[in-house]
Structure formats: structure tokens, C-alpha cells
Amino acid sequence: MNTRRESLGPITTIMNGGLFFFQEFLKHPLQIGSIIPSSQALVKKVIQAAKVESAKTIVELGPGTGCTTKAILKAMQPDAKLLSIEINPNFHKIVSSIEDQRLIAHLGDARKLSEILEKYGLKAPEAVISGIPFSTMSEECGSQIIQAINDALAPNGRFVAYQLSKRVISLCKPIMGKEKVQLEFLNIPPMRVCLWEKKNGNGNGNRCSCQ
């Protein structure tokens, strides 16, 4: 998630080592799902599940220090757009420093996804990728985010959430239907990669497939 790179100072030099990520976790444990950034193996599995390479509009919720953001940009098409939404101002500042014209870094709330897409003139996304920790938020807040994702997704669009907890599955079931789950053990901690595919323009009872 430019001209702001020079102003980051020491933040830029430590972001790849995970120290800044860990510091933000200590300050905002309910906003961040892990104490270190995602592994390359996890990121690869997430990108494959979301079919990033064929999507024209992609949304990333909770980019953190931008590890997944950079991988998405590398995998997506030259004419595609990536909207990255972060609620943590410090993480948003880091993602905003990524120099890629296809990236739109937005500081805000995922529950307002449709409004944010409209603000930037973006079409319905074919892929929504989320690393935000649903296990630490209220059921009401989590359900509102899932509903916003389901409402915004294009028909046949994919929602991929990489999570430590199963909470996102129970939140999604009444809105987006049955999930498909893969486990990635080459990550600390091991993560679930959960996938839903929007069918026929509605959410309840959607089927999903990684193929």
C-alpha cells in the first residue's frame, strides 16, 4: 500500500526485519493477527487461491507492512488495480510508500468497502484478500465486514482470508456459505487459507473451489 518515502526515516530500514511489525502488534494486538509478517509460502498460497493473475480489481484488507501487497503487485496484470485498506496509520504510511501506480493505499474501515471503491472509481473486485484478525473483533463488527465483502464482490469473485483462528469460517457461513480451507505450515504460526467464491450474485450458499 512516492514521494513520502524519504519521510519514513528509520521505519523503512527495519520494516523488512519484522521489528516494526512486532512493535505495532504490542501496541494494537486486536488489530494485528500475528507478531511477524507472513511467510513467502503463505503469501504464494493466498495469491494462488485468489487467482490474482486474472483479476482486474483486487482489494487487500489489512496489508500490515506490505509484504503481501508487494507480492500481489508482482503477480497481477499491468492494467489491474489494487486497493489496499489499512486501519493502522503507521502501517498505512509504510504501504503508501510502495511505488506502483496500480496501488491505491487507503486509510480506513473495511466495513465501508463499497464506499471506498466508489470513491476511487473502481469496479467490483474479482478478488478480496484479508489478513485482518476476525478472532479479535466482535461478532457484529466481523459480520459487517463479511457482508461488505460479499456485497462488493463481482459475480464469481473470490474472498480469501488467511487466519490463525476458525472464527472467520463461522462468520462467513450464513453470508457466503461453505468454505474451502488449506493449511500452510511454512509460516509462524501456521495459518489457514480460507476461500469463498461468490456465485450468481448472492452470498448465502455460495460454493467455493481452489481450481
Q: What domain range includes position 146?
A: 5-197
Q: How confident is the model at residue 36 (pLDDT cuts 50, 70, 90)?
A: low
Share of the chain above pLDDT 70, in %: 76
Mean pLDDT over 95-124 rounds to: 98
Examine residue 171 and state whether it is found in any structural domain, yes or no: yes
The residues, any chain, with a CB within 8 Å of residue 111's CB and separated by 6 or more, are 141, 144, 145, 148
pLDDT of residue 86: 96
More confident of the two residues 173 and 21: 173
Examine residue 186 and state whether it is found in any structural domain, yes or no: yes
Examine residue 36 and state whether it is found in any structural domain, yes or no: yes
Examine residue 205 and state whether it is found in any structural domain, yes or no: no
pLDDT of residue 37: 66
Provide the CB-side half-sphere exposure for 94 (13 A, CA): 25
Examine residue 150 and state whether it is found in any structural domain, yes or no: yes
Share of the chain above pLDDT 90, in %: 67
Of the spans 35-39, 44-48, 198-202, which averages the highest pLDDT? 44-48
End-to-end CA gap in the chain: 28
Least confident of 5-14, 135-144, 198-207: 5-14
pLDDT of residue 175: 97
- In DSSP terms, which residues pair with 84 in a beta bridge? 60, 105
Q: What is the mean pLDDT of the chain?
A: 83
DSSP type of residue 199: B
| Predicted confidence (pLDDT) at residue 50 exceeds the cutoff of 70 | yes
pLDDT of residue 200: 65
What is the number of domains present in the chain?
1
Per-residue b or e along 158-183, where b marks 16 or more CB atoms closer than 10 Å to that residue's CB: bbbbbbeeebbbebbeebbbebbebe
pLDDT tens track for 151-190: 999 999 999 999 989 999 999 999 999 999 999 888 888 8
pLDDT of residue 189: 83
Question: At 155, which CATH number?
Answer: 3.40.50.150
Examine residue 209 and state whether it is found in any structural domain, yes or no: no
